[in-house]
Amino acid sequence: MAVPTETFYQFPEGFLWGSSTSGPQTEGTVEGDGKSMSNWDYWYSIAPEKFHAQIGPKDTSTFYKNYRKDISLLKETGHTVFRTSIQWSRLIPKGTGEVNQQAVAFYREVFSEIKKQGIQLIVNLYHFDLPYCLQEIGGWENKEIVYAFESYARTCFDLFGDIVDTWITFNEPIVPVECGYLGEYHYPCKVDMKAAVQVAYHTQLASSLAVKACHEMNSNHKICIVLNLTPAYPRSESSEDKTAARLAELFQTKSFLDPSVLGTYPEELISIVKEHDLLPEWTQEELDIIKENTVDFLGVNYYQPLRVQAPSADSKEKLTLDSFFAPYDMPGKKINPHRGWEIYEKGIYDIGINLKEHYGNIEWLVTENGMGVEGEEKFRKDGVIEDDYRIEFIEDHLIELHRAIQDGSNCKGYMLWTFIDCWSWLNAYKNRYGLVELNLESQERIIKKSGYWFKELSQNNGFRK
């Protein structure tokens, strides 16, 4: 009988292993901490029933209080890199102007502690969380917010630039556009293509201004944007389906990828936007800022592919994204049964090769990938969650990532979503993603099987399968 052969997947020297999280999803708030309401706090205050089990952003995983313990868990699970974000509403409660000194002390302690543990730190400025007072004056539809963000970014670089040298401008900027201006999963829950285009353009301009500020203030600091570069695969080879896939990528990935990395918007996107009278208010000076301030590297979040087909004729009546492409439910797809999402490991390879071939082989990191599981407590054995499905999920994606690197893609690290079960927007704690379990009642933290496995992965800089 043939003995199955195993391969050791060795990653390049210095490859980073770690995870990502965000301020609004972990910190929680405590009375008197000086934080103001973010758009999420406000939304929860008026519509708590929208949030799973009515758990709101105040009750996230108490990192604000327990950060020392959590940072020690980073070490125990083999992290060599970690990403979190600053909450704008904590640092500058009124959106502009006065800085909350308690927030400065908190973030300085957190960042110093992470560095003290020898973990590389990457800090994101914006993870879907706008101070609510800025939403009240129009949010990202209002150009003033762009300049408020620039000033917030400069404050962060000034306050923490001595500890943090690697920054992120925005996490998944297309998500608030799609979910908040073309859908109802983020506040302000509008469906308005014109507003969506304006918000997307303003966000890109804000990101480019932050890149500019970062380089002006510390020429040796690096800054990136994190994009969910979900590849779109057509249902068939028909030209209608292929066009739908091209348009899906144009709206959902190239709309930020091209200006952030190449400094320009794709011609086809500009002409579609023009044709439908959706052009945002723009100036040549702003386009020059975008052109001249591209990112140093890229963060990529990848969970599942987008399968698309040509839209149906009736979806063209009122203009939405559905007028350009429709989702396709592919029969026989591999699925994560505990979350309902498709699993398609090769997507990560395709992303790596796309960046190599069309984006100057820019340096990139996987900044999110992971497996959400509902009802994970049923996998507990002798007190520990035996999440073999998560280990397998990570391994299978890493095999494809390894192949992309072998084929020349410039990936420098892999960061899981996430190190400890955290609060995930409207889904709250429904799906668990962590290497560490969080008990919601006692706030106890227990390392899962995957957490011990991840440490070995990091120590060996690879794994056998």
Q: What are the catalytic residues? A: 172, 368
Please identify, using beta-carbon distances, which residue of 36 and 301 lies nearer to ligand GAL. Answer: 301
Shortest Cβ distance from residue 417 to ligand GAL (Å)? 5
- Sketch the per residue contact string, 282 through 311, with ligand GAL: x for CB under 6 A, - otherwise: -------------------x----------
Q: With binding defined as CB under 6 A, does residue 230 bind ligand GAL?
A: no
Q: Using the rule CB under 6 A, which residue among 27, 41, 172, 345 binds ligand GAL? A: 172
Q: Which is nearer to ligand GAL, 84 or 458 (CB)?
A: 84
| Number of residues binding to ligand GAL, judged by CB under 6 A | 10
Q: Which residue has the tokens 């070490």?
A: 75
Query: Does residue 22 interact with ligand GAL by CB under 6 A?
Result: yes
The stretch near ligand GAL (CB under 6 A) out of 37-45, 100-108, 353-361, 417-425 is 417-425
198 binds ligand GAL (CB under 6 A): no
CB of 85 to ligand GAL, least distance (A): 9
Contact 194, 200 (CB under 8 A): no
171 lines the binding site for ligand GAL (CB under 6 A)? yes
**Per CB under 6 A, 27 contacts ligand GAL:** no
26 is an interface residue for ligand GAL by CB under 6 A: no
Residue 257 Cβ, how far from ligand GAL at the closest point, in Å?
A: 16
Determine the straight-line distance between the first and last CA of the chain, rounded to whole angstroms. 19
Minimum Å distance from CB 135 to ligand GAL?
19
Instruction: Report 372-391 residues binding ligand GAL (CB under 6 A).
Output: 372
In angstroms, give the least distance from the CB of 138 to ligand GAL. 24
* Residue with the CB atom nearest ligand GAL in the bound state: 424
Report the distance separating Cα 156 and Cα 167, nearest Å.
10
Is residue 424 within the footprint of ligand GAL (CB under 6 A)?
Answer: yes
Nearest C-alpha neighbor of 427 from the set 82, 172, 60, 66: 60
Q: Which residues is 232 bridged to in the sheet? A: 306
Q: Supply φ then ψ for residue 380, to 5 degrees.
A: -75, 135
Name the minimum Å distance from CB 2 to ligand GAL: 40
Q: How far apart are CA 160 and CA 87, in angstroms?
A: 14
The pair phi, psi for residue 47, each rounded to 5°, is -145, 60
Could you tell me the smallest distance in angstroms from the CB atom of residue 304 to ligand GAL?
10
Question: Which one among 417, 419, 453, 454 touches ligand GAL, defined by CB under 6 A?
Answer: 417
Nearer to ligand GAL, 150 or 172 (CB): 172
Query: 60 or 80: whose CB is closer to ligand GAL?
Result: 60
Which residues here bind ligand GAL, judged by CB under 6 A?
22, 25, 171-172, 301, 368, 372, 417, 424-425
